[in-house]
Amino acid sequence: MAKTNGDAASEHRSTEYGHETKHLTDHVQLLTEQLRRDPGLPVTNSTIAHWQQPPNQISQHQSADLPNETDVLIIGSGITACGVSKQLLERDNSLRVTILEARNVTSGATGRNGGHIKAVPEISYSALLPEIGKQKAQEVVHFTLKNVQELLKLAEGLPEKQRDYSEVRSVETLNIFTDEEGFAHAKEVVGRFDADNPDLKGRARIIEKDELVEKHGVLNAVGGMVSAAGAAWPYRLITSVFGNLLDTCPERFSIESNTPVESIEYSADTATYTAQTSRGPIKARYVVHATNGHAGHLLPGIRGALFPLRGQMTAQTPWKDFGVKGGSQSWAIHYGKGFDYITQSPSSGEIFIGGALINSDPLLEIGNPRDDANCVRSIAHLGGIMDATFGTPVRQEIRATWTGVMGFTVDGLPLVGKLPNMATLREGNNEFVAAGYNGYGMPNAYLCGKYIADLVLGREHAGSVPSAYLITEKRLKEMNPAIAAESWMQAFQKT
């Protein structure tokens, strides 16, 4: 019997679907293998982040000779390490604390991000509720909101000149939705959040298109959500804090920049760890891993559970007509499965725009530990998204482009706490980690760092961090990178 046109079309669709399914399966396998790889040390020839210009005077700080020993060794010099070291030094006036940084001080994710101090509890609650339940999801909500306030408080404690230079400020943040489906989901999310969290009801407010146009000058979107948040020049904030700690605790605190840790060994005889570095060995009683996307390099047992992900950032000069709104405003633009995040310096007027992940190739970004190259496709998108959304020329010039490496986890939650031996593949029980913030380090990392310090001091208490963040053998065993790879590949599929 001859085939009809309908039969032929059906057969073609079936064959095409089969090819697409095999293509997706192959890519999932490739990505799974990529997530399991050793992320290695940070590359030495990174892209130049505009946040880090000019460098802080402590950017290449190191002792004339690497100390032979210390009490607490912190690997990494970002916001997590800041929280750990400040808490340790202030809570115990006898401890010696040493930070080892592979590159310049605060040159990683903290010195490369979007400038937000922003929790989005309505959206995170919606995503976490079916995964970890109401109580644990609420723990995350309150923790991230507390962390925002903690960073604002941290800045208030700086001398006035440093505080102004760090540009830490409270803002109203506007999440802009460019499609009806995304806006409808936002309304649903806020409604559910308000119902389940009466103490926070009204924290976020939905605004319709008319208000978006009239009050915010956004012409090409369907609606928005406004809420309270913060913003900062993160590199300046954290390096200012480090500089002050070096001044006040010169005998007990040191930062050793450009001193990558190549390996760690444990001695049961002395109950100490020896970190082999490019400048020689250093012994410590406690080791804290604050290296986020690179944590798997020295913690082979968490590779795949925690993996790097490269993000794209730009600094753009706006046209004068846009004005300088960054002292009281920040933005995010949502479109389909993707979103971009935006802050503006209140002093220079420069706009910092990052994101566009969904416009890139997942195999180029997910599991990528290198920040030495840009993604042209993402830059092209970021260079035009504000013009397209606001419906008027915003961007005059792209001043700088750079990438940064974030730490992501299979279950979408940070890994925080004392490391089990299956994570270190070493003896000893005094190694700790706080990493894997899934792109939300600013509303998580500082308090996670303080919690780690309290663990070291034996002063931790239940509820200091969300219970869902705690690292356990059971949780690690359940974190299958193949599941994460499939989820990511599906997110990148065109709809």
* Domain assignment present for 24: no
> How many structural domains does the chain have?
1
* Domain assignment present for 15: no
* Domain assignment present for 4: no
The reported pLDDT for the residue numbered 5 is 53
**HEC string for 138-192:** HHHHHHHHHHHHHHHHHHHCCCHHHHHHHCCEEEEEEEEECCHHHHHHHHHHHHH
Phi, psi (rounded to 5 degrees) for 261: -90, 120
Specify whether the CB–CB gap between 220 and 233 falls below 8 A.
no
* Domain assignment present for 11: no
* Domain assignment present for 3: no
Which pTM does this prediction carry?
0.94
- Between the alpha carbon of residue 235 and those of residues 106, 110, 174, 399, the distances in Å are 7, 6, 24, 18
- Between the alpha carbon of residue 128 and those of residues 124, 138, 225, 489, the distances in Å are 6, 9, 20, 20
Please provide the DSSP assignment of 352-371 as one string. Answer: EEEE-GGGS-HHHHBT----
The residue type at 408: F
* Domain assignment present for 20: no
For 417: left if phi > 0, alpha if psi spans -120 to 50, otherwise beta; the answer is left
Give 20's contacts (C-beta < 8 A, 6+ positions apart).
Answer: none
The reported pLDDT for the residue numbered 15 is 47
Domain of 423, CATH number, reads: 3.50.50.60
For 333: left if phi > 0, alpha if psi spans -120 to 50, otherwise beta; the answer is beta
Alpha helices, DSSP H only, in 333-416?
Answer: 362-365, 376-382, 385-390
Specify whether the CB–CB gap between 387 and 219 falls below 8 A.
no
* Domain assignment present for 30: no
pLDDT average per 10 residues of sequence, the chain (495 residues): 52 49 80 98 98 98 97 99 98 97 99 97 97 98 98 97 98 98 98 98 97 97 98 99 98 98 97 98 99 98 98 98 97 96 98 96 96 97 98 97 98 98 98 98 98 94 89 98 95 76
The reported pLDDT for the residue numbered 26 is 87
The reported pLDDT for the residue numbered 462 is 67
Q: CA–CA separation, 186 vs 191, rounded Å? A: 9
Q: CA–CA separation, 335 vs 443, rounded Å? A: 23
* Domain assignment present for 2: no
Q: CA–CA separation, 241 vs 28, rounded Å? A: 42
Q: CA–CA separation, 166 vs 281, rounded Å? A: 35
Residue 383's domain spans which residues? 36-495
The reported pLDDT for the residue numbered 493 is 84
